[in-house]
Structure 1
Amino acid sequence: MKTLRGLFLLLLAVFSVSCIPHKDTLYFVNKSMALDSLQVVKEMQKPYRVQINDILTIRVKALDQDNVRILNPIDSPNLNMTSGEKSYYDGFTVDAHGNIRMPTLGTINVLGYTTEEIEKLLETKLLSEQFKATANIFVTVKLAGMRFTVMGEVGSPGTKTLFQEQVNIFEAIANSGEIPVTGNKKEVLIVRQYPQGQKVHHIDLNDTAVMQSPFYYIQPNDIIYVKPLRQKTWGTGETFMQNVATVATLLSLVTTSILLFNRL
């Protein structure tokens, strides 16, 4: 009986350690204030500055559209082409030197510029070299979708592209199949591209303070990695009842083995 009691206590200890705490499965946990307090969270979003390998979609409009036709992409006859594929073929890719090449305008450096700054740059260049102010030149520059990669403990890992101006980390995760119970929401890594190379940043999705982080909004070509919790490597159940069933099965197996051994 002492052996069974000791074994039961051991299994109980393993069970308690292997359980995934409920608080670790949540988002937006207020760790700094009372749970019922009113929070005013300021989202920190700086204007995105164009990096190498970004793809820009550029449209030029004028009173006489025929005069700017060469600057605009031609509609593809391939109706099966996706929006991402059209952007790849019709957009302007920022090369390793931070330049794009446009018809009649030649090579233009856009590295480190915002899309608004590129619009003004192109308008000024067109008006000074090819058109008069009466042409009413109007330029729009956008990123050809927000492309990012999600890896690790998510329902649908892979590279995604969302066609919107800005995407926060929760939207990126939601579009990647959500984080399962075995995913570590407290330590999510973001690998971000900078002119001098790549850097790894850590964010805690379990804390509401993440919305004040400079990494709350993702950037094009970000790599998001969700680590697994230690409980996954232990092979225990994900829920309370699964752990109960595991302990009960192990206890039954060991008890049966002991009883059979004692009969010999």
Structure 2
Amino acid sequence: MNKPKIYLLFLFSILLTSCVPTKDLVYLQNKSEGNATAVTPSNQKPYRLQTNDLLNISIKAIDPKLVEIFNPSGAQNLVSTPDQGNYFNGYSVDDHGNIRLPILGEINVLGYTTEEVRTKIEKLLLEKYFKSEAGIFVIVKLAGFRYTINGEVTNTGTKTLFQDKVNVMEAIANAGDITITGDRKDVKVIRTFPQGSETFSLDLTDAKVVNSPGFYLQPNDYVYVKPLKQKSWGTGKTGIESLTTIVTILSLATTTFLLLRN
């Protein structure tokens, strides 16, 4: 085999290995042999409160004056964003798993769902302070869905979404999507529990990822998208970029050789 052919083979092999294949960029591909799509039941379990969670609790009645003390409004003029409002007006779960409400005092909510907390507060109010005719209506929600995302995404940092359920695809979209040099086949979701932490590895190019227990996030999850090898090689993300890089290197090598020869 002559030298030109060897050079062309070398150039072609570099182009193949340096650019990012399309199949590594497409989300939720059906990688199974069959083409039929089946409805997959959700395996998401209700979120149970942990320490440092922040709750928004609203108590309403037929006569609003009866429940004014439960609905803080004194710090409204101090806030400029919803996150700040949640910080000043929300109820934080302390290290013992308690929240502290006016009149009712400390209530343990550790391990409860928000619906169970709502039922608990409503029961206490009706047993001790109000009659059913008062029309007590309690709303308990998490003060925003907070998570942190880092690595190969457009906008890293701690994000807050004002919705009850968030999956990893929504979290990534909220961060501006994964960059072309991000590894969609090995996205890490780190989840902290009172007894420790657990790490899930998600292949977002496979449609079966929706069955993973890490697909639906929980508040305070940490999402990390690691870079592909192509980023550290620096050869380019596409075939054109890789070819440009290689031509530049060959031109530099040729110029250096000619200068040294002369």
TM-score surpassing 0.5?
A: yes
TM-score, normalising length from structure 1?
Answer: 0.92
- Residue 203 (structure 1) aligned with residue 202 (structure 2): yes
Output the CA distance in 1 between the equivalents of 2:246 and 2:73: 65
SS in 2 for 1:51: coil
Structure 2 match to 1:28: 28
Change (3 A) 1:201 1:248: same
- Which residue of the partner structure matches residue 226 of structure 1? 225
Partners of 1:51 and 1:111 within 8 A in 2: yes
SS at match of 1:251: helix
Deviations 1:45-71 (A, max 9, x none): 211111111100001111222111111
Aligned ranges for residues 10-21 of structure 1 at < 5 Å? 10-21=10-21
Q: How many residues align?
A: 262
Counterpart residue number, 1:88? 87
* Alignment-mate amino acid for residue 182 of structure 1: T
Trace 1:3-82 onto structure 2 (pairs within 5 A). 6-34=6-34, 36-74=35-73, 76-78=75-77, 81-82=80-81
Superposed, which structure 2 residues align to 1:1-264 within 5 Å? Answer: 6-34=6-34, 36-74=35-73, 76-78=75-77, 81-259=80-258, 261=260, 264=262
CA drift of 1:195 comes to 1.9
Deviation for aligned residue 1:33: 3.6
State whether residues 75 and 88 of structure 2, in contact with CA within 8 Å, keep that contact through their aligned partners in structure 1.
no
How far has the Cα of 1:8 moved from its partner? Answer: 4.8
CA contact (8 A) 1:182 1:229 kept: yes
The C-alpha deviation readout for 1:228-247, integer Å capped at 9, x for no partner, is 00111111100111111112
Shift of 1:7: 4.9
In structure 2, distance between residues paired with 1:80 and 1:104 = 25
- Gap regions ≥5 residues in structure 1: none
Q: Deviations over 1:90-141 (max 9, x none)?
A: 0000011111000000111101101110011001111111112222211110
Cα separation, partners in 2 of 1:77 and 1:118, compared to 1, 3 Å: closer
Q: Secondary structure at the match of 1:199?
A: strand
| Pair 1:203–1:125, CA change in 2 (3 A) | same
Q: Please, what is the CA RMSD of the aligned residues? A: 2.0
- Structure 1 residue 256 displacement after superposition: 4.0
- Greater shift, 52-61 or 209-218, is seen at 209-218
Which amino acid letter does the alignment assign opposite residue 147 of structure 1?
R
**Identity across matched positions, percent:** 50
Tell me the TM-score normalised to structure 2 length: 0.92
Hey, what's the Cα distance between the residues in 1 that align with 2:51 and 2:75?
Answer: 26
In structure 2, how many angstroms separate the alpha carbons of the residues matched to 1:181 and 1:68? 53
Change (3 A) 1:128 1:105: same
**How far, CA to CA, are the matches of 1:217 and 1:75 in structure 2?**
36
Shift of 1:12: 3.5
Are the aligned partners of 1:44 and 1:216 in contact in 2 as well (CA < 8 Å)? no
